[in-house]
């Protein structure tokens, strides 16, 4: 299983208000960056093949990788047009999507607990899986995941009037795709780029994939597990005061080489 972490964006909504400029994956909580926590949790889950999609200030992320000293190679891919949408960032990692095996597609700007990741990576069989949190704040900011009879029927911030569904929650922003689905997703993303829609968020391409192959996905409910996507300065405060105290210590399940 391979993890692709999307960490290319400018994070304008956070940077403009906070007055600082650095990749959001470098936000520290108790001295540990979001990126380091990602790597710790992935290793604990047995995932050590990581592809990191960079764009804004990649040298800072490279420096953080060296500081962390994670004992597994991290492949980095650069999107030089990171000022456009995340569709282009996903397109830049098309090789990682299509080289075989299950893929975890993950946003970098999330502080989360192992209880969020565990159901996503559970099971050895090839799987398509989504995460849903039914306890979410209403409004236009959360990306809503809607299900009908267990099948995804929508993935958007704003829902169409009259949409029929029986379950609604917030998408955590992490997706597991099996080999065939990952290759199809890469094709959909390429279609966006070729048709001049590279400025769109990659969730739009994920939405197309879900509407096309919804019955092939299962959904893990992570309601109650601590996590937060960080977009605004207030999210940083909530992450530190509300989410961080709930996180369980990370225990690696991967044996380190003996010296």
Q: Find the domain containing 58 and state its range.
A: 2-130+172-200+225-246
Q: How many CB atoms lie within 10 A of CB 230?
A: 24
So what's the pLDDT on residue 9?
A: 84
Q: Please state, in angstroms and rounded to a whole number, the distance separating the CA atoms of residues 101 and 40.
A: 21
E strands within 72-116? 74-78, 103-107, 110-112
pLDDT reading at 259 higher than 50: no
pTM, two decimal places: 0.93
E strands within the chain? 2-7, 28-29, 32-33, 49-54, 74-78, 103-107, 110-112, 129-133, 144-148, 151-156, 167-177, 218-221, 227-229
**Residue position matching structure tokens 């209880």:** 115
In a domain? residue 156: no
So what's the pLDDT on residue 13?
A: 55
SS3 of 69, please? coil
Pairing of strands 28-29, 2-7: unpaired
Q: Mean pLDDT for the chain?
A: 92
Per-residue pLDDT reduced to its tens digit, 195-211: 999 999 999 999 999 99
In a domain? residue 192: yes
Q: Tell me, what CATH number does 81's domain have?
A: 3.90.550.10
In a domain? residue 253: no
In a domain? residue 149: no
When pLDDT is averaged across residues 63-91 and rounded to a whole number, the result is 95
So what's the pLDDT on residue 256?
A: 44
In a domain? residue 98: yes
* Number of domains composing the chain: 1
Lowest mean pLDDT among 18-22, 38-42, 164-168, 214-218: 18-22
Q: Please state, in angstroms and rounded to a whole number, the distance separating the CA atoms of residues 206 and 175.
A: 9
When pLDDT is cut at 50, 70 and 90, the band that residue 88 belongs to is very high
Q: Are 6 and 110 in contact (CB under 8 A)?
A: no
Q: How many CB atoms lie within 10 A of CB 155?
A: 22
So what's the pLDDT on residue 11?
A: 64
In a domain? residue 92: yes
Lowest mean pLDDT among 38-42, 124-128, 255-259: 255-259
Helix 179-194 / helix 202-213 crossing angle, nearest 10 deg: 130
């Amino acid at each position: 299983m391979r993890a692709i972490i999307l960490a290319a964006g400018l994070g304008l909504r956070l940077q403009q208000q906070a007055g600082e400029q650095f990749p959001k994956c470098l936000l520290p909580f108790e001295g540990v960056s979001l990126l380091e926590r990602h790597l710790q949790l992935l290793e604990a889950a047995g995932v050590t093949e990581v592809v990191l999609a960079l764009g804004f200030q990649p040298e800072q992320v490279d420096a953080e990788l060296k500081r962390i000293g994670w004992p597994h190679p991290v492949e980095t891919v650069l999107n030089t047009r990171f000022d456009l949408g995340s569709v282009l960032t996903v397109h830049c990692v098309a090789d990682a999507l299509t080289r075989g095996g299950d893929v975890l597609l993950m946003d970098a700007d999330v502080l989360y607990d192992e209880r969020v990741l565990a159901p996503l990576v559970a099971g050895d069989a090839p799987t398509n899986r989504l995460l849903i949190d039914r306890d979410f704040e209403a409004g236009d900011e959360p990306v809503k995941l809607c299900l009908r009879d267990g099948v995804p029927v929508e993935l958007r911030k704003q829902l169409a009037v009259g949409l029929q569904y029986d379950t609604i929650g917030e998408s955590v922003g992490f997706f597991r795709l099996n080999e065939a689905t990952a290759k199809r997703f890469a094709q959909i993303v390429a279609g966006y780029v070729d048709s001049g829609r590279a400025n769109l968020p990659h969730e739009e391409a994920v939405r197309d994939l879900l509407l096309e192959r919804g019955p092939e996905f299962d959904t893990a409910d992570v309601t109650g597990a601590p996590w937060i996507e960080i977009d605004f300065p207030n999210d940083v405060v909530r992450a530190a005061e509300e989410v961080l105290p709930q996180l369980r210590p990370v225990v690696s399940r991967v044996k380190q080489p003996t010296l």
